[in-house]
Structure 1
Amino acid sequence: MQPTQKYYEADAYRREADAVILAAEPDGRGGGKLALDGTVFYPEGGGQPADHGTLTLPDGARLTVTDVHEQGGVIWHRVDALPDTAAPGTAVTGRIDWAWRFDKMQQHTGEHILSGILHQMFGAENVGFHIGSDAVRMDTSVPISAEGLREAELAANRIVWQNVPVLITYPTREELARMTYRSKKEIEGQVRIVTIPGADVCACCGTHTAATGAVGQIKILAAENYKGGVRLSIVCGERALLAAQAMRQRQADIGALLSAKPSETAHAVHRVYDEYTALKFAHFGLCSELFDALAAQVAPGADAIRIVPGLDPDGLHRLAARLSEATTGLCAALTANEKGTGYCLAQAGGDVRALTKALNTALNGRGGGKPGICQGSCAAAPEQVETFLKENHTV
């Protein structure tokens, strides 16, 4: 089968094209895939998702393109329906979802700019790249500090503001041998070079904006250490604007809750955190006093099952352990939670693992631990757990 002519490589802004069906393969579920002699649809590859859009037949039937892949130079378009009229030799008109495509062009071009800048500034190689539905993921080969990322982000946006052209060239092997360019793998055949003056020279098959100004803005949303380098989450263009608007709204919500101006929210959060820490410390002390009082009420050798509202897992563990200091009987701390009941079972010199397993089986619970103390939660009310323990505990 003849290779598919890639119209998107010559003109990433071309939105539709007439073509002829070369082959049609049904999938047995009403849909299938079509190979065309030429296409404006970009196939998934190089970290960039495939285009979406429609293929329109001569009779007006419109087939929705849900995925596009290249195999051996032939580009296959997966469609949601494959009528008999979509046969080899039939003319079709392909139209891409332009909003989808332009977003990917903005993200991909922005990634080139930032990757090139990081390479210039820190010698960082881009060892992983994917345009996701929410953000672009970039993995670098070397660690980069927060300050370094801020400097690189500013330098990348300066390239955007300069609105330099994004150049596509197809150098000969001799020309390529004299060039310095980024590439994550060895490439056979003709190499397509994307050059962004002042920022990047990279081998790439994707679609890009004609000039950097169309990227709009490049914003790093998050950075984390990853495999000896840094994993970045970035957004460009409309995504960057939407992210800024969302951050502004969150800032407004936080300010309203804290009765603070936008410029004072960080100070207000620190104040609330300090207050929370003080309250948590006071709560710890009050719980210790309560646990001591509850332990004082337990007769030596007696079981001690106590339901105390509002305890967190640490509180449950502390109460059960404190009760077990007062008696050799079964001790249990119970509290209601979103799953039903949080529990902690303990027994000085005993083994509560079998009882814990039985509780989990009977009341749809999960948990475990050591012979003397086990902890978990189950889908039952505290009173039901208390009844189960009283009926099933044997010394």
Structure 2
Amino acid sequence: MQELFYRDPYAREFTAEVVSCTEGKKGFEVILTDTAFYPEGGGQPTDLGELDGVKVNFVKRINGSIIHYTDQPLAVGSLVTGRIDWGRRFDNMQNHTCEHIFSGLVHQKFGFDNVGFHMDPDDITVDFSGEISKEELNKIEQEVNEAIAADIELSVVFPSPQELVSMSYRSKKELSGLVRVVSVPGFDSCACCGTHVRRTGEIGVFKILEAGKHRGGTRVRFVAGKRALRDYAWRLNEISKVSALLSAKPHEISAAVEKVLNDGKAQGQLLAERTKLWLESVAGRLEKPEDCVIVFENGLSPFELKKFASILQERFVGIPCAVLSEVGEKVFNYVLAYESEKLSEISRELNKKLNGRGGGRDGVVQGTYRADRGTIESAIRDAFKDLMK
């Protein structure tokens, strides 16, 4: 006998007898005489819900039996009332049916197979065996929505082995035993174990969110039905927020963002130039040392530290330079600069002594030390003395 989720995929509530209930690693494993709970399979997620108020966390078919994983035991032989999370189920039915139409059209037009299908809570991902251009996907998206608007009645059959031989249908693998074929006349015929809507009109709408090349084929992310409405509401909300932040009308936000980015770039360039002048001023106030230059200057980014080290190298030619900036309690970003093959080796030794990390090349090393200022300054000074020998 077919399970209730096949006989009536619209059944939201049912009564069945508890055949067995055993405790397992994922909770209590319950088998019923019948069930409306769809078990995970065919790319479609498990149904969720409850049995006499006991939460059903997962459903899976194992060795022909459908196991309901619950968080509490149920008495063997008792009659229980099951209630599935209908919102979740119908959402999956809409999107699974839409995937059939979409994959069927891709197969008709290009001969590509659906080689990957995954239903996340927010969207659907489908992988096709060949590359499809953005323009072609736009056309297919329109055709899928036309099929939805046509409100076509689906056909679900269990053909005999003899009938199956003469049928044309999609399948990801060789099939044996009883095969269930779901068809959307004119668009698709596919061997499938999932649940589907009765008519395409119940899907509502189909929208491709993203598409790109993937392992020699095409990966497409889409939404349909209530998911599409949720996605649209989310996007509209985000657009409204950005519109308010930019003081721009929704259809003007891309131009407003571009202006903000350009203004930010110009401000960044101006700030960089001002920082350079300031660092040159700081360097200009330093007297030429006999051995090395060690400068602690707070508030500098790693890039600014490197720039400061370069300025110091130009001012004090042939003298090792170290610039550091405190970024936390006993945590200092550093840049060491000196044209010597020994610099990398000395830097590694300093990292060991000062609980540091980092490295570099071409006479410049940078990273982070974790020690107090006095210990760092003393260790660098001693290292630079060895460097100058």
TM-score (ref. length: structure 1): 0.85
CA distance in 1, matches of 2:367, 2:102: 47
Contact 1:121 1:152 in 2 (8 A): no
Show the counterpart of 2:387: none
- Mind listing any 5+ residue stretches in structure 2 that lack a counterpart? 384-389
CA distance in 1, matches of 2:121, 2:162: 39
1:66 aligns with 2:63: no
The Cα RMSD (Å) is 2.7
CA distance in 2, matches of 1:287, 1:138: 50
Aligned with 2:333: secondary structure?
strand
CA distance in 1, matches of 2:94, 2:363: 60
1:256 aligns with 2:244: yes
CA distance in 1, matches of 2:366, 2:231: 41
Larger Rg: 2
1:238 aligns with 2:235: no
How far the C-alpha of 1:212 sits from its partner, in A, is 1.2
Deviations 1:229-255 (A, max 9, x none): 222222211111111111112212222
Show the counterpart of 1:343: 333
Aligned with 1:240: secondary structure?
helix
Deviations 1:346-391 (A, max 9, x none): 13122312323444x3xxx65444594443457x7xxx76444214
Structure 1 counterpart of 2:325, one-letter code: L
Aligned ranges for residues 128-277 of structure 1 at < 5 Å?
128-277=116-265
Compared CA separation, residues 329 and 219, structure 1 to 2 (3 A): same
1:14 aligns with 2:5: no
Aligned ranges for residues 26-37 of structure 1 at < 5 Å?
26-27=23-24, 31-37=27-33
How far the C-alpha of 1:28 sits from its partner, in A, is 7.2
Show the counterpart of 1:331: 322
Structure 2 counterpart of 1:23, one-letter code: S
Show the counterpart of 2:386: none
- Give 1:45's match in structure 2, choosing from 29, 41, 44: 41
Aligned with 2:16: secondary structure?
strand
How far the C-alpha of 1:310 sits from its partner, in A, is 5.4
Deviations 1:69-116 (A, max 9, x none): 101111111110115xx22x3332222111111111112112222222
How far the C-alpha of 1:12 sits from its partner, in A, is 0.8
Contact 2:357 2:367 in 1 (8 A): yes
Compared CA separation, residues 202 and 5, structure 1 to 2 (3 A): closer
Show the counterpart of 1:59: none
Aligned ranges for residues 293-304 of structure 1 at < 5 Å?
293-296=281-284, 297=286, 299-300=288-289, 301-304=291-294
Aligned with 1:268: secondary structure?
helix
CA distance in 2, matches of 1:389, 1:193: 73
Contact 1:344 1:373 in 2 (8 A): no
Show the counterpart of 2:350: 355
- Give 2:306's match in structure 1, choosing from 283, 300, 317: 317
CA distance in 2, matches of 1:188, 1:234: 31
Contact 1:320 1:344 in 2 (8 A): no
Contact 1:352 1:371 in 2 (8 A): no
- Mind listing any 5+ residue stretches in structure 1 that lack a counterpart? 57-61
Deviations 1:291-345 (A, max 9, x none): 444444363532332325253x4333333344345353341242648x9967232
Contact 1:321 1:346 in 2 (8 A): no
CA distance in 2, matches of 1:12, 1:185: 25
1:285 aligns with 2:273: yes
CA distance in 2, matches of 1:106, 1:377: 54
Aligned with 1:38: secondary structure?
coil
Aligned with 1:39: secondary structure?
coil
Structure 2 counterpart of 1:305, one-letter code: V
Structure 1 counterpart of 2:185, one-letter code: P
Structure 1 counterpart of 2:101, one-letter code: I
Higher mean C-alpha displacement, 121-130 vs 292-301:
292-301
CA distance in 1, matches of 2:378, 2:244: 52
Identity of aligned residues (%): 36
1:375 aligns with 2:372: no
CA distance in 2, matches of 1:366, 1:109: 54
1:306 aligns with 2:293: no
Number of aligned residues: 373
Aligned with 2:195: secondary structure?
coil
Aligned ranges for residues 74-153 of structure 1 at < 5 Å?
74-83=65-74, 86-87=75-76, 89-153=77-141
CA distance in 1, matches of 2:361, 2:280: 23
Aligned with 1:232: secondary structure?
strand
Compared CA separation, residues 6 and 385, structure 1 to 2 (3 A): farther
CA distance in 2, matches of 1:28, 1:252: 47
Aligned with 2:152: secondary structure?
coil
